[in-house]
């Protein structure tokens, strides 16, 4: 250990996977961060962002001693490139539920994860619901954070308007999604991440606000077969606690945890507060599907 440096236990790797999809298929080189041992906990960042939103969780020994935490960058985000074999620059990017769910399953297959818990926030929370509906046997449980059956209103051209500074529009346009109680240092890191993803943000929100619509499918999700533990912060104006509670109430076996004084990016804007609620969710999952698999990689 150098005298003036401190290494993190978190490591990063790339894995390349092939995906068949009529709209977005191709060869994808995917970057992920990981730390810990035990049951895999696969973490999806929010739209237009990247895996540093999970920085607090990735370095939390209280979680990583019993979970292999994996936080990846969705293709076109962070260090995960757009597809290697498509002329993607000639296409309008619009993320779909079909591609998003196929990608998550393909990544879990490539990493040979057994009974992983999938957790995502915002559009990651919505895709957690989609996974529970489409692939209930592939996941031990899902934790949809800041999610609902339907979340209209955020697929906006402002995110990419050529006459405005897209980086600042995306970052300051999502500022109000965080709670005023969250620490400035953490909120500004989240803001900073949002300056980096404006090209993907609008297309991500095509999934979030348009393609994702489970209003007439919630009864088909079996939350006893694949436990669904939903969590939403009181300062989330896109998917309010009331919206999440109403969604959870229609899913067989689902549970809802309301998080006080936190917003739409809870793991990133105020990890210590989020952690308390996450531990509740993991405890409930452990009670329902069995003890974590110690040491499994």
Neighbours of 258 (CB within 10 A): 14
Parallel, antiparallel, or unpaired for β 26-35 and 11-19? antiparallel
Among 238, 254, 259, 273, binds another protein (CB under 8 A): 238
Closest to another protein by CB, 14 vs 175, is: 175
Closest to another protein by CB, 134 vs 264, is: 264
Among 11, 84, 172, 283, binds another protein (CB under 8 A): 172
CA distances from 111 to 44, 45, 70, 171 (A): 15, 18, 10, 32
Are the C-beta atoms of 128 and 135 separated by less than 8 Å?
Answer: no
The minimum distance between CB 27 and another protein, in angstroms, equals 36
Among 8, 237, 287, 294, binds another protein (CB under 8 A): 237
The minimum distance between CB 293 and another protein, in angstroms, equals 39
Among 176, 219, 220, 287, binds another protein (CB under 8 A): 176
Question: Which residues on neighbouring strands pair with residue 71, listed in sequence order?
Answer: 33, 43
200 touches another protein by CB under 8 A: no
- Vertex 275: Cα angle to 269 and 279 (nearest 5): 155
224 touches another protein by CB under 8 A: no
Query: How many amino acids of this chain bind another protein (CB under 8 A)?
Result: 22
Which residues within the stretch 108-167 sit at the binding site for another protein (CB under 8 A)?
153, 158, 161, 163-165
205 touches another protein by CB under 8 A: no
The alpha-helical segments, DSSP class H, found in 162-265 are 166-173, 184-194, 198-206, 241-249
- Contact segment (CB under 8 A) with another protein among 33-41, 99-107, 137-145, 233-241 equals 233-241
Closest to another protein by CB, 14 vs 158, is: 158
Question: Which residues on neighbouring strands pair with residue 145, listed in sequence order?
Answer: 121, 231
Residue written as tokens 């240092």? 185
**Orientation of helix 198-206 relative to helix 166-173, angle to 10°:** 50
192 touches another protein by CB under 8 A: no
185 touches another protein by CB under 8 A: no
- Contact segment (CB under 8 A) with another protein among 31-39, 123-131, 232-240, 277-285 equals 232-240
Cα gap 291→297, rounded to integer Å: 15
122 phi-psi bin (left φ>0, alpha ψ -120 to 50, beta other):
left
14 touches another protein by CB under 8 A: no
Among 173, 203, 223, 266, binds another protein (CB under 8 A): 173
Nearest residue to 78 (alpha-carbon basis) of 120, 43, 49: 49
Among 234, 253, 275, 286, binds another protein (CB under 8 A): 234
Are the C-beta atoms of 73 and 193 separated by less than 8 Å?
Answer: no
Closest to another protein by CB, 71 vs 238, is: 238
The minimum distance between CB 146 and another protein, in angstroms, equals 13
Are the C-beta atoms of 207 and 77 separated by less than 8 Å?
Answer: no
Residues contributing to the site for another protein (CB under 8 A): 153, 158, 161, 163-165, 168-169, 171-173, 175-177, 179-181, 234-235, 237-238, 240
């Amino acid at each position: 250990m150098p005298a003036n440096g401190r290494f993190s236990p978190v490591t990063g790797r790339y894995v390349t996977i092939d995906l068949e999809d009529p709209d977005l298929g191709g060869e994808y080189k995917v970057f992920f961060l990981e730390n810990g041992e035990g049951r895999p906990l696969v973490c999806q960042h929010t739209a237009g962002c990247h895996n540093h939103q999970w920085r607090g969780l990735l370095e939390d020994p209280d979680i990583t001693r019993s979970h292999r935490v994996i936080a990846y960058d969705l293709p076109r985000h962070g260090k995960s490139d757009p597809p290697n074999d498509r002329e993607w620059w000639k296409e309008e990017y619009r993320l779909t539920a079909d591609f998003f769910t196929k990608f998550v399953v393909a990544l879990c297959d490539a990493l040979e994860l057994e009974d992983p818990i999938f957790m995502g926030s915002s559009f990651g929370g919505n895709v957690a619901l989609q996974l529970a509906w489409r692939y209930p046997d592939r996941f031990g449980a899902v934790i949809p954070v800041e999610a609902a059956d339907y979340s209209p209103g955020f697929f906006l051209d402002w995110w990419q308007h050529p006459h405005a500074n897209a980086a600042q529009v995306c970052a300051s346009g999502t500022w109000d999604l965080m709670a005023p109680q969250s620490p400035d240092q953490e909120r500004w890191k989240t803001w900073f991440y949002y300056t980096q993803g404006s090209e993907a943000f609008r297309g991500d929100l095509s999934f979030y606000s348009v393609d994702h619509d489970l209003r007439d499918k919630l009864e088909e999700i079996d939350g006893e077969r694949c436990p669904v533990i939903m969590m939403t912060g009181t300062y989330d104006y896109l998917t309010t606690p009331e919206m999440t509670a109403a969604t959870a109430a229609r899913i067989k076996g689902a549970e809802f945890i309301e998080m006080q004084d936190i917003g739409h990016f809870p793991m990133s804007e105020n990890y210590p507060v989020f952690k308390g609620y996450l531990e509740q969710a993991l405890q409930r999952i452990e009670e329902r599907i069995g003890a974590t698999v110690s040491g499994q990689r």
